[in-house]
Amino acid sequence: MDETRWLDEHEMAAWNAFLAAGSLLERRLEQQLKDDAGLSHPQYEVLVRLSAAPDGELRMTELADALLTSKSGLTYQVTQLEKSGLVRRRSCPSDVRGVFAILTDEGRAKLRTAAPGHVALVRELLIDVLTPEQVTALAEGLGAVTKRLRAASTS
């Protein structure tokens, strides 16, 4: 049996900083979106992904993959957005099991209202705290982690 490779002091400091920063950042972003736009962070991300998609629509399975969430979790968020008139759904004409989520005009307007405050807070709490080199290192490092985890989930 392989021996456990315990984290050294430097690695433990990195792990603890990652956990603390992620938790504190998520909490602040969630509160800002709730206060400014009446949205949860996952709901905001749904609107962002749909706004970037051709014609403002994506199949629910593609949207779940892009958001790294379960289909049931996405269904809940889309249902909440649908109740608010920000998203609608339609069946896929070529696949009876397929469903599209579509950004409505109200959803686009809500995103235009929410985005400036959200981006300003992301900048204040993360981007502007780091040097350009640290931003690059963060993007590259977390990109490598994401790539490994995505590869592991498909095998």
Encode pLDDT of 47-93 as tens digits.
Answer: 999 999 999 999 999 999 999 888 889 999 999 999 999 999 998 87
Q: What is the pTM of this model?
A: 0.89
The topology under which CATH files domain 24-116 is: Arc Repressor Mutant, subunit A (1.10.10)
Domain spans, the chain:
24-116
Question: With 0-12 CB in 10 A as exposed, 13-18 as middle and 19+ as buried, what is 154?
Answer: exposed
DSSP string, 32-86: HHHHHHS--HHHHHHHHHHHHSGGGEEEHHHHHHHHT--HHHHHHHHHHHHHTTS
Tell me the average pLDDT across 102-128. 97
Encode pLDDT of 1-53 as tens digits.
Answer: 689 999 999 999 999 999 999 999 999 999 999 999 999 999 999 999 999 99
